[in-house]
Amino acid sequence: MTVRRDLQESARCRSDLLIGRDEALIGAREQLSRGGSVLVHGPAGIGKSTVLRTLAAEYGESARTVLRCSATESESHLPFLALADLLGLALDEVSGRLPVAQRVALESALTGRGESTLQRDGLALRLAVLSALRALAAKGPVLVVADDLQWLDTASTELLGFAARRLGDDPVRMVFAGRTDGQEYDRYLRASTPDTLAVRVNPLTRTQVSALLDVRGYTGLPRSTVREIHRTSAGNPLYALELGRALAENPTPPRPGEPLPVPTSLRALVLSRLEMLSDDARRTLLVVSAGARPTLALLHEAGRENAEAETAQATALGLLATEPEGSAVRFAHPLVSAALYAEASAQERRAAHAALSTAASDPIERARHLALATEGTDPEVAARLAEAAALARDRGAPSVASSLGLLAVRHTPADSVPSPDEHRLRAAEDAITAGDLDLAREIARQVLARTAVPEERVRAWMIVIDTAGHAMTEVDAVFPQALADAGDDPRLLGLIHYQLAWRALLVQGDFAECREEAARAAELAARGGDRHTELMSLAFQAQTETLMGHPEAPATIKRALKEPQDPQVTVHHNGIGSARFRWLIMSDQLPEARATATTLLREVRRRGSVESEVHFLRGLAETELRCGHCGRALDLARESLRLARDTGIGEVASAMLAALAEASGGDVDRALALAQEAVEHAEENGDLLYLSRGQAALGYARLVAGDAPGAVQSLRRARELEHDLGVDDPARGRWQGDLAEALVRVGETDEAQEVIDVSRAHALRLGRESVLAVLDRAEAQVRAARGEHEAALAQLTSAQDRLAKLGYGLEEARAALALAELRAGLAGPTSAPIPAPTSYDEAARLFRRSRALPWLRRVDAATVPNPAPQPLMQQPQAVAALDGLAAMERQVAALVMEGATNREIAGRLFISVKTVEATLTRVYRKLGIRSRVDIVRLAAGRHPN
């Protein structure tokens, strides 16, 4: 169909349809903006048409003519049908410009009048399509949009491809979409231009599936359910939405161990193939579906004697995937397994699980299958499940332990010991460890509605509080109820006062009250014989005292390290290991801090504790940032943020740390957005602790972005918040030097000096050497602003040396930059710089070593007005050379300028890392440069800030 420019739709695709498609759209947009063509490909339901419609809407505005077609399977045998859709309405417009033979052949093909065929009129038809496109392009740009290329009729494909290969410089762009289920997409390229970029639409991540379900109205689903939707759909948005719809329409959610309800719309995709199986093969596949890690040997043990032949039959039908090695049996798509299991009767399912309960070698699997094969309560089955849950817990699989615990509830008689509610509470605590806060909260609410036992009620209240995270204002009403249930039991009171310590910190912003509550919790827990809570309370007291700069902090740490120890507390994110890490990093013991955080992260990953993993990823990222390893810090911070958003745990803290990492080694705009997000969410949660840290991160990002007034505003707010919190240790937030520097830049030197003096007094008292060096760097800038140049030079040189010895690579580089800026200022705009070992080159070297790309760009921008005596390339040459790069070379160079690694570039451009390396080699040769940093310098010279 032809759409004139003035008749085109102005509608835009809904933003919710584009979730997770940024990566696919980036490359496609760049290709189309250069006048190239794009092929979007991927499996059915993955979102190809959504991407296609988005690109067509965006780039259709700049085209005079848009030609569209969308083929269907039922019509794929009709010749010239797609061509008729594309050119039918344009025929009158172009026919007068075609030679007679071409016009007759094309009209015959498009209208169906006559007997035109490729065999008889092949050359005339091919030339007619080419001439028609050129005639349209002569009047203005043309955009050809074709969906579902897999159903395009052969004749239309051949004609379109012939024309596309010969269009040359004619302004015709093509945007196609075709289905690929593992096979190559090359067969589609014959219908498009030679330089077409193939863009694969990838599955959505779990977080993206969750966002898609939310915007479509399927809200409130537990994270465990969203996780199962993502697994069953394999990230396919169409399948995920259908599963979400089925859950929304089903009033009874699936019980533990049961699969998701598969709607008829999705079952139909596989049931036709399932019906082609023999009855025995279908029963064998049901056993495969019920098993966790099925193999041919397991199927034999489960009584499936002809497993090889039956699985081969299923593989031939595309139901099972072909495994090149080993005897594992795997479905081609998780949806096949889910549909097969959903279609089976309850009796058939129980039979499959009963067979696996004796065939499986793993005790956890045997217990799970026994439970799913058993109806009603059975104390023996419940005991087996409890043992299996403990084993899963020890293996670091808390989500499995939680699922087994809930299965145990189903089989536990009401009068048993442990009781059903005891199993529920343990399952909820395992769910918290696994990061499934929604499930844990729901279980706790169930227990509170059922039990009158004080211990069970208090444990349930503690779960409710734990799942609130830093948003403790939402559970304020819980504390009086929990205290009433605890009575005078010191063990239960210790649990509550431990949470009250957190409330004092997060809600009231009172470090002194927090310390007192933590100490009281430790004393109560000791009286009640609860060593776990006693150690957790002592660790929290130690961390609070460390942040306060309290003199008792070392003594409290020693108390918390006394035997007997609890291994769970040692590696807990709020345990003594974390307290010791915080002490080390604030005391400038960076190698020890890194080793401690690395060990803790390794252990919590082994145990499967998601919240602790998020926490220690942040801790390790912070350590690497202090050391000046900005690239490594950025990777860790991004990983922490991804995990935090996926689980809903520690999102504010992870966004704050990611903002610092992005501002130091990544993208400043993203840093600003993340810091603002952290501030807004902390304010919503009433979290004063991270509100101050979020403001500090926002101030730092604004400083790096060159917004000194904005930095002052944010950092002043951080100062006020920390003052109100009672935080005296400047090593906690380390914003004081940034605030002083920003104040100097806005001309407030007196306030800057006041900040330095107050902070220095605390740093001297606590022995914070790195803070003192940073404050000296800031004070040197104050002196330089006041004209005390010699003193400023000496102080900056000393600060840089001290920071280098302490191992603070990024702060050392910032001191070198300040020194270079001071020397450049003293030299004046026309004079030669004062000779010294520290210069802009030295600052660039240090920032490059740290991979501090935003700071490196700042150095490059500063050197543009005063280029080195022998620059790598003069400005006009640089511009001409960049413009002279090939399309792929320009894309790679552009991503290098953004700070992307070779692996990141390969992922974004859908090429191999080796191709990136080879392309960069050509770029270096063409530009006459030697490294990635030189590309950044050229960019800074071309677009000075």
Burial class (CB in 10 A: 0-12, 13-18, 19+), 510: middle
- The pair of structure tokens assigned to 710 is 């904005």
Q: Within 10 Å of residue 846's Cβ, how many Cβ atoms?
A: 25
- Distance CA(422)–CA(435), nearest Å, equals 20
Mean pLDDT of 579-605: 93
Greatest mean pLDDT range, 212-221, 766-775, 903-912: 766-775
* Strand duo 142-147 + 2-4: pairing: unpaired
Confidence of residue 943 (pLDDT cuts 50, 70, 90): very low
Question: 390-430 pLDDT, tens per residue?
Answer: 999 888 889 899 999 999 999 999 999 999 999 999 999 99
Longest dimension (CA), the chain: 103
Say what the pLDDT of residue 75 is.
78
What was the pLDDT predicted at 181?
A: 73
- pLDDT of amino acid 248: 81
Instruction: Retrieve residue 263's tokens.
Output: 């709607």
Return the SS3 of 417. Answer: coil
Rounded mean pLDDT, 649-678: 93
pLDDT at 907: 61
Q: Judge whether residue 838 has pLDDT over 50.
A: no
Cross-strand partners of 41: 178, 200
* Residues across the chain: 945
| pLDDT confidence of residue 547 | 78
Q: In the numeric block, which tokens belong to residue 141?
A: 């740009």
Q: Which residues have CB under 8 Å from 122's CB, separation 6+?
A: none
- pLDDT, tens digit, for every residue of 56-81? 888 888 889 999 988 888 777 788 88
How far from 406 is each of 287, 459, 652, CA to CA, in Å?
A: 23, 17, 31
pTM for this one? Answer: 0.69
Range with the poorest average pLDDT among 219-223, 733-737, 811-815, 886-890: 886-890
Single-letter residue type at 498: Y
Q: When comparing pLDDT for 712 and 96, which is higher?
A: 712
Could you tell me what percent of the chain has a pLDDT over 70?
Answer: 89
pLDDT of residue 4 exceeding 60: no
Cα–Cα distances (Å) from 544 to 473, 489, 496, 516, in that order, read 20, 26, 18, 10
Q: Calculate the dihedral angle through the C-alpha atoms of 445, 449, 451, 453, rounding to the nearest 10 degrees.
A: 70
Q: What is the per-residue pLDDT across 231-242, written as a single tens digit (0 to 9) for each? A: 888 888 888 888
CA distance linking residue 500 with residue 472, whole number of Å: 10
Instruction: Determine the pLDDT at residue 447.
Output: 96
- Alpha-carbon distance 646 to 266, whole Å? 26
Contact 197, 169 (CB under 8 A): no
With bands split at pLDDT 50, 70 and 90, how would you rate the model's confidence at 784? very high
Average pLDDT over residues 454-458: 96
Q: What is the pLDDT of residue 831?
A: 44
Q: Which of 104-113, 279-288, 468-477 has the highest mean pLDDT?
A: 279-288
Q: Is the pLDDT of residue 339 over 50?
A: yes
The residue written with tokens 């080879």 in the block is 918
Would you say residue 602 has pLDDT above 90?
Answer: yes
Mean pLDDT, residues 856-867: 72
Residue 154 pLDDT = 85
| pLDDT value at residue 871 | 40
Check: CB of residue 699 under 8 Å from CB of residue 742: yes
Task: Say what angle helices 853-863 and 651-665 make with each other, to 10 degrees.
Answer: 30
Question: What average pLDDT score do residues 808-837 get?
Answer: 75
**pLDDT at res. 324:** 55
Report how far residue 609's alpha carbon sits from residue 834's, in angstroms, rounded to the nearest whole number: 56
Q: Is the peptide bond before 829 cis (omega within 30 degrees of 0)?
A: no
CA pair distance 877, 871, nearest whole angstrom: 11
Q: What is the mean pLDDT of the chain?
A: 85
Q: Report pLDDT digits (tens) over 486-543.
A: 999 999 999 999 999 999 988 887 889 999 999 999 999 999 999 999 999 999 999 8
* Single-letter amino acid code for the residue at 786: R
- pLDDT classification of 945: cutoffs 50, 70, 90: very low
Give the full edge-to-edge strand order of the sheet including 2-4.
2-4, 65-70, 142-147, 172-179, 38-42, 197-200
Q: Is 191:222 a contact under the CB 8 Å cutoff?
A: no
Is the pLDDT reported for residue 832 higher than 50?
A: no
Work out the pLDDT band at 551, boundaries 50, 70, 90: confident
Contact by Cβ (8 Å): 355, 289:
no
